[in-house]
Amino acid sequence: MEWIHRELSGILLPEPAKITDDDIGAINNLPNPPLTPVTAREIHVRKCRLAGDGMDAGFGRFRTDDLPRLLELVAGAPALIGHRRDTLGVARFYGGELWQDPNTEITYIVPKFYWIRAHSASEDLRICIDGGIYSEASLGFTFRTPTCSICEGDIRRCDHMPGREYEDVTCFYYYDEVLRVTEGSFVYRGAQPGTGFTLNHPETQHSQWAGNPRFRYQGVWYRGFPEKLLQS
């Protein structure tokens, strides 16, 4: 398997922010920039606390050192409504910063996003965000290797199970080699963290399948050989 797709939900921060020259410069210099450069009067800007280096409910985790690159990958990604990939984006991510929660010491990426005031649905989007109807943004990304926190091997192939304790240490995996941010979506309520990367296979350490690699198919993890399943 060359890559894995994952979706995580973060919290929208709806308070308006002053649009600066730096914002305009960042937007107009995005990959595939606006054909007509935007001005401060033409856009709305908000931001979101999108992903961090804490362990999520699916026992996945970004490495702290990888957060700056993740923030760079978010820049230019489209923002959709409810992961409707059959529609065009309504906003676009750019810029942002890293922020550490003083209570949890978790560090987050906090990208900004903008949309055009003149769009016919612009006010509807603003009202839904500022009024809390759209309260979360969900980040879709692909990565190559889920690295086990216990043995540093590929967790699809080692014998450690995410969420299980080994000598009083909870096993999790790192999202290593993030390849791409595919899109972000505004949602009124994000999916339960951990869905889409579900560990849902029987106890295998003492079964005939114990030596086989694990793989994911249609959101569910199995142990065995995926080519056999796909040919069946």
* Whole-prediction pTM: 0.76
Confidence of residue 199 (pLDDT cuts 50, 70, 90): very low
Rounded to 5 degrees, what are φ and ψ at 229?
Answer: -70, -45
Report the percent of the chain where pLDDT is more than 70. Answer: 75
pLDDT band of 91, cuts 50, 70, 90:
very high
Any idea which of 101-110, 118-127, 209-218 has the lowest mean pLDDT?
A: 209-218
Is residue 22 packed enough to be buried (19+ CB in 10 Å), middle (13-18) or exposed (0-12)?
exposed
Six-digit token string for 189: 């309520």
Going by pLDDT thresholds of 50, 70 and 90, the confidence category of residue 192 is very low
- Comparing 37-41, 76-80, 190-194, the range with the smallest average pLDDT is 190-194
Is 90 exceeded by the pLDDT of residue 212? Answer: no
Residue given tokens 């992961």 in the structure block: 83
